[in-house]
A and B are shown apart, each in its own frame.
Chain A
Amino acid sequence: MRRRKFQIMGIYAGAILVVLVMGFPLYWMVKTSIEPPTTLFSPPYSYFPTTFSIENYRLLLFETYFLTFLKNSLIVGFFCTLITAVVSTLAGYGLTRFEFRGKKLIARGTLFSYMFPELMLGIPLYIIFDSLGLRNSYVGLVLAHASIGIPLGTWTMWQYFQIVPKSFEEAAWISGASRMKTLRQVVLPIAAPGIIAVSTFAFAFSWNDYTYAKIFQDDILMFTITTGINSFVERTAVHWGLIQAGSTLVTIPTLIIIIFLQKQLIESMAIGALK
């Protein structure tokens, strides 16, 4: 019995230590962001917030392009998610419901494209986009982000449709429904959890991307949140207050997602690994 107690205490001590070490950078980010910008460059700092100020946030929202960055990230993220979800769902359906040659090739192709170095796509795409006038456009960035999401999405939906039994569809056909109708009313509702998982990580990829946004966009009005927040690091001055405030704002939606979708997150990670 005593041994069991020790074990539980050990787990708590370990968990507290882990939370402190892992949580401190986040705590420090928030703490920095809610203090007046003047205290930033006058160490030593106190470890707890002493004076509260929303000045960093006011500057961020009204004196910088932060809202434009946010808008760009949301637009690109939305279309990347849409394309990835539609294309992957169709592919997953086709790959499990029809017989044709070359399935193995497609499987290998999708797995192989997991390995593509970002720069190996970034360099040729930069040249191609440059000549097509797609740099500093939403289209180029959406396509580049979709190239990360689609292989994984296809793979995930392929696996997922294998679990969805064909018998439901066959029952619908027998009762006279067309394939299109079956697809809409029988298959899609069953496949919904898979589609949600694919959409989540398609959006996460796009939201997370820095490399492609950095390579393709050099007009500050086309920056995304990642390249945008990083633009507060200037040659002459680093605006730490703005950076920490921007980072905090980016963290909030993520935090909400984790709290509400923790279980699904763990499960969807088990289906298809996030990058």
Chain B
Amino acid sequence: MRIILSSTTSVPMYEQIKTQIRHAIHAGELTEGVLLPSLRQLALELRVSVITVTRAYNDLVAEGLVRNDHGRGFVVRAVDADQVDAALAERLARATDELIQAARAAHLTIGDIHGKVEDAWNRH
């Protein structure tokens, strides 16, 4: 898992860390039982404070994605397939909304979008 933080967005660091770990869990890159880097190790790697990583991890625990295995560290929990589907559907809906807004602003038709999406799909 590679976490990359932006220092120019208004999204707080802990939120960026949380989102990227959540995406990695949903995508199956981080699977059940995987031990996350220790709070202090990740803080050192990302050049953020310990409290920032603590906050991200605690939020992931509250979301049920990770558990705090005292003495061992933070461990990825089994994912609930329905919950992942719901999260992915929501992410897709958000991206679609953004796409449509951008397309409307550029006066594109649904046909133009189809074409662009298809091109991009084939490139990836």
A binds B: no
Give the A-binding residues of B (Cβ under 8 A): none
